[in-house]
């Protein structure tokens, strides 16, 4: 089971950087765990912390904002590179439930959806509008409505629709996951195996 998702109001942590790869989201040296827990505090570790483990001042998001926001907004081609699902676990573990970008890498998008983390793809213009708005007022909230498939910028009339497959939408709203479903159709899978022999 994944956590159910409906509507989310939250401020945003904005990373105005393109092509953020999964090695930045969670560096490989942190991949040695055998459970899904504990990755949240390691998210973007080398960008957030210096070599002594102190918070870096040049990280674009303040610590309070980072820990209180449930929406991460990032430049285009987010999540490229390695297929490590640990990237989705890290972002989810850091408290985010939505990632907004104008373009997502395929594997990251699948991994996110399989963990109840909603990737919201918006236009370049809308993404820039979010960045500008958050820059001028970091308290700006975004409203993500999965049922309606819309994202709004609070205090403006800016709203965009986003795409999500009907199947994944149902899974997220109800907290279903694919594995339960696949196990339930093992008979059909076995029939497929026999038919193609």
Partner 1 sequence: MNTLFDKIWDAHTVKTIAEGTCVLYIDRQYIHEVTSPQAFAGIKKRGVGVFRPSQITASPDHNVPTLNQHLPPTDLLSVSQLEALATNCRENDIEIFAVGTPRNGIVHVVGPETGLTQPGMTIVCGDSHTSTHGAMGAVAFGVGTSEVEMVLASQCIMQTKPRSMRINIDGELKKGVCSKDIILHIISRLGTGGGTGYFVEFAGSAIRSLSMEARMTICNMSIEMGARGGMIAPDEVTFEYLRGREFAPKGQEWDAAVERWKMLKSDDDAIFDREEYFCASDIEPMVTYGTNPGMGVPVNGHIPHIDEVEESSRASFEKALDYMGFASGEPMVGKKIDYVFLGSCTNGRIEDLRLFASYVKGRRKHPKVTAWIVPGSRQVARMAREEGIEETLREAGFEMREPGCSACLAMNGDTIPQGAYCLSTSNRNFEGRQGVGARTILCGPLVAAAAAIEGVITIPEV
Can residue 29 be called a binding residue for partner 1 (CB under 8 A)? yes
Distances in Å between the alpha carbon of 167 and those of 114, 129, 178? 12, 30, 10
CA distance 54 to 31: 21
* Element of type H or E holding 151: strand 150-153
Q: Which of 54, 183, 194, 197 binds partner 1 (CB under 8 A)?
A: 183
Give the one residue of 62, 63, 64, 106 binding partner 1; rule: CB under 8 A: 106
Alpha carbons 43 and 138: distance in angstroms, whole number: 21
Tell me how many residues contact partner 1 (CB under 8 A): 58
Cα 70 from Cα 95, distance rounded (Å): 6
Among positions 150-169, residues that touch partner 1 (CB under 8 A) are 165-168
Binding-site member from 13, 105, 117, 118 for partner 1 (CB under 8 A): 105
User: Is 101 near partner 1 (CB under 8 A)?
Assistant: no
Residues 6+ apart with CB under 8 A from 166: none
Binding marks (x or -) toward partner 1, 54..83, rule CB under 8 A? ---------------------xxx--xxxx
Is 106 in a helix, a strand, or coil? helix
Residues, the chain: 197
Q: Which CB, 121 or 133, lies closer to partner 1? A: 121
Task: State yes or no: residue 132 binds partner 1 (CB under 8 A).
Answer: no
Question: From CA 125, how far away is CA 122, in angstroms rounded?
Answer: 8
Nearest approach in angstroms of CB 172 to partner 1 is 13
Residues interacting with partner 1, by CB under 8 A? 16-19, 21, 23-24, 27-29, 31-36, 46, 51, 75-77, 80-86, 88, 103-107, 110-111, 114-115, 124, 165-168, 170, 177-183, 185-186, 188-189, 192-193, 196
């Amino acid at each position: 089971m994944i956590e159910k998702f409906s509507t989310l109001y939250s401020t945003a942590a904005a990373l105005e950087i393109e092509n953020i790869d999964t090695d930045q989201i969670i560096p490989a040296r942190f991949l040695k765990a055998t459970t899904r827990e504990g990755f949240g505090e390691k998210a973007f570790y080398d960008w957030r912390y210096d070599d002594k483990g102190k918070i870096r001042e040049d990280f674009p998001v303040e610590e309070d904002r980072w820990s209180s926001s449930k929406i991460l907004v990032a430049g285009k081609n987010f999540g490229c590179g390695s297929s490590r699902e640990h990237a989705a676990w890290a972002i989810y573990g850091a408290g985010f439930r939505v990632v907004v970008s104008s373009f997502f890498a395929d594997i990251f998008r699948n991994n996110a959806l399989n963990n109840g983390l909603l990737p919201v793809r918006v236009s370049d213009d809308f993404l820039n509008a979010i960045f500008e708005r958050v820059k001028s007022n970091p308290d700006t909230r975004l409203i993500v409505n999965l049922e309606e498939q819309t994202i709004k910028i609070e205090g403006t009339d800016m709203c965009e629709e986003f795409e999500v497959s009907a199947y994944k939408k149902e899974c997220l709203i109800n907290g279903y996951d694919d594995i339960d479903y696949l196990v339930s159709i093992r008979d059909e899978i076995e029939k497929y195996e026999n038919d193609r022999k």
